[in-house]
Amino acid sequence: MTRTSNTLWWLTVVTIASLMVMPLLVVLQFNLQGHTPTWQHLLDYVLWNYISNSLQLALGVALGTFIIGVPTAWLCALYHFPGKRYLEFLLLLPLAMPAYIIAYTYTGILDFAGPVQTALRDHFDWSYGQYWFPEIRSMGGAIAMFSFVLYPYVFLLTRSTLIAQSHNLTHAAQSLGANSLERLTLIILPLARPAIVAGVMLALMETLADYGTVQYFGIDTFTTGIIRTWFGFGEPQTAAQLSSLLMLVVFMLFMFEQHSRRRIRYHNTSNSCHATAPTPLTGGAAILAMTICLIPVLLGFIIPVVQLSQWAIDTASRMLDANFWQLAFNSLLLALCAALVTILAALILSYGKRSIRNKAVQGLINLCAMSYAIPGTIIAVGTLIIFTQLDHTLINVLKSGFKIDSGLLFTGTIFALVFAHTVRFLSLGLQSVGASLAKINQSIDEASSLLGHSPFATLRHVHMPLIRSGLLTATLLVFVEVMKELPATLIMRPFNFNTLAVRAYELASDERLADASSAALAIVVTGIIPVILVNLSINKND
C-alpha cells in the first residue's frame, strides 16, 4: 500500500465525515450571531409555549410507551400462552405506521363527522352539544398517537433483556416467598431498567423530531415553530437559533440514551446461569395475557389499516390516477437515491473508523452517528443555509468573472434533498454496516495491506462481498425511512416535486382524510419491510 493511496483514503473519509456534520455545525454557529427582533418576539410570546408543549408531549409519550411496552415485553419474554408466537410479530407492526398517518386516520374515525360519533348520535338520538366526547386533536390525543406507534422500541429492548436474564434470580426470590408482582417490581424491572430507559429515549427522540402530527393537531412545539419562523417570518437566522435549542435538548437525550445503553450489560450473568424459561399460562390468565398483547396491535396497526383500506377502496376511482403513480415514482426514486448514497457514505466511514487509528477522525465519524437523533427539520434548515450560501457565492463569481447568471444550481434540487436525507439517516447505515464489519477479523485487513492493496481495494474486493447481506439490509432500512420522512422533504422538495408523504400531509391538512388514504397506505405497506427484517433477526438470535 503506497503512501499516496493511504493519504487519499484518509482525505476521502475526513471529507465525507465533514460534509455530513456540516449542516449541524452551520445551525450551531448562528448562536454566535446576535438575536433578531423576531427572536425577542418568540421569547416574549411563544418560546415558553414551545418548551411547555414539548415537555408535556415528551413526558406523556414516555409514560405511554412504558405502560404499553413493558407489560407486553414481560408477558412475551417470561410466559407462554396461546398465540404468543404470532403476537410477538404483530406487536412490532406499529413500527410501520408513521405517527402522522395514524393521527390522520384516528381523526377521521373519532371526529364529529366520523363513524364513531355518527353512530352514537344515530343510536341515542343525540344532537350537537348534548354529549361529551374526547377531543382527538389535543395534547392527550397526540400522546396517544405517538404511544401507539413508538412503544415497539420499549418492547423490543425490554423483551430481549428479559429473555437474557438469569432464571436463578427469580427462583431464589420465589424460594424466599416473593410472589409474581414482587419478583417483577423488585428484581425483573430493576435489572431491565437500562433497556427500558433506552427504548423510552428512542421514542422521545422520534417524538421531538415529528412535525406532521403536532402540526395537524394544532400543538405548538419546536418543530412547528422552526418551520413557521423560516417560512412565516422569513427568518432563517432565528429558525437556526431555535433549531440549535432543540438540538441541545435532543443531544442531552442522545447522551442519556447512550449512557443507559452502555450499562445494559450489567444484568448479564455468568455462563453457569440459564435464561429464564417461559411459564405456561392457562385459563383466565392466558386470556388476559392475550388481551393485553392484542390491544396495542389493534389500536396501533389493525384498526388504522382497516380504516385506511376502506377509504382507499372508496376513493380509488379518483385517487389512483396518473398523479398518484407519479408520486409513487418520485417517492421510490428519492428513497432509492438517498439509500444508495447513504449506504455508500456509511460504508466508507465505517471502514474508515476501522482502518484509521486517529482519535480525531474517529470522533468525527462518531459525531456523524448522532444524525438520526436530530430532527429532520433541523437538518433541512442547516442544509438549506449551506446550499443557499453556496449558490449565492457561485452566482457572484460567475457574474463578476464570466457575466453568466447561473441562478440557483443546488437549492431546491433533488441533489440537496438527497444530501439532507443522507445526513438524516447516515446513523442507520453506520450502525448496520459497522455491525457487519465488526464480524470480520482484523487479520484480513492486515493480510490485504501486506499484499499491497490500498484501503479502497480492500473495501471493494474483500469486505463488500463478505458483508453483502448486511449492506442489503441497511439499504432497505434507509429506503423505508426516507419513504416515511416528512419534515425534511416538505421543507426542501423541489418545485413540482411531491412524494407520497407530502401528498398525504397536504390532503389531510385540507381535511380530505379519505383522499389521503391511498398515499398513507402505500407508505405503511412499504414500512412493513423493516419490521419483517427485524422480526427475522430476532428469531435468528433467539
- pLDDT, tens digit (0-9, with 9 covering 90-100), for 192-222: 787 888 888 888 888 988 888 999 999 999 8
The predicted model scores a pTM of: 0.84
One DSSP character per residue, 436-488 reads HHHTS-HHHHHHHHHTT--HHHHIIIIIHHHTHHHHHHHHHHHHHHHHH--HH
Residue 303 clears pLDDT 60, i.e. is over it: yes
The CA-CA-CA angle for residues 383, 389, 391, to 5°, reads: 100
Residues 6+ apart with CB under 8 A from 428: 342, 346, 372, 474, 477, 478, 481
Please name the residue that has the C-alpha cell 454557529: 29
pLDDT band at 268 (very low <50, low <70, confident <90, very high): very low
User: Alpha helices of 165-210 — where are they, by DSSP H?
Assistant: 167-175, 180-183, 189-209
Exposed (0-12), middle (13-18) or buried (19+): which is 227, by Cβ within 10 Å?
buried
Q: What is the pLDDT of residue 516?
A: 92
Q: What would you report as the CA-atom Rg of the chain, rounded to the nearest whole angstrom?
A: 25
pLDDT tens by residue, 474-515: 888 888 889 888 888 888 888 888 899 999 998 988 888 899
Provide the pLDDT for residue 267. 43
Query: In angstroms, rounded to a whole number, what is the distance separating the alpha carbons of residues 163 and 475?
Result: 29
Where does the pLDDT of residue 360 fall: very low under 50, low under 70, confident under 90, or very high at 90 and above? confident
Q: What DSSP character marks residue 79?
A: E
Other beta carbons within 10 angstroms of residue 245's beta carbon come to: 16
Phi-psi domain of 411 (left: phi exceeds 0; alpha: psi -120 through 50; beta: other): beta
Q: pLDDT at position 272, please?
A: 46
- The answer, yes or no, to whether residue 458 has pLDDT greater than 80, is yes
Distance of CA 493 to the CA centre of its chain: 20
Higher local confidence (pLDDT), 406 or 74:
74
Q: For residue range 57-73, what is the model confidence (pLDDT) as tens digits?
A: 999 999 999 999 999 99
CB atoms within 10 A of CB 404: 12
3-state secondary structure of 376: helix
What pLDDT is recorded for position 271?
47
Give the per-residue pLDDT at 166: 52
**Cell 452502555 belongs to residue:** 262
Range picked from 252-261, 355-364, 443-452 for highest mean pLDDT: 355-364
CB within 8 A of 210, min separation 6: which ones? 99, 100, 146, 223, 375, 487
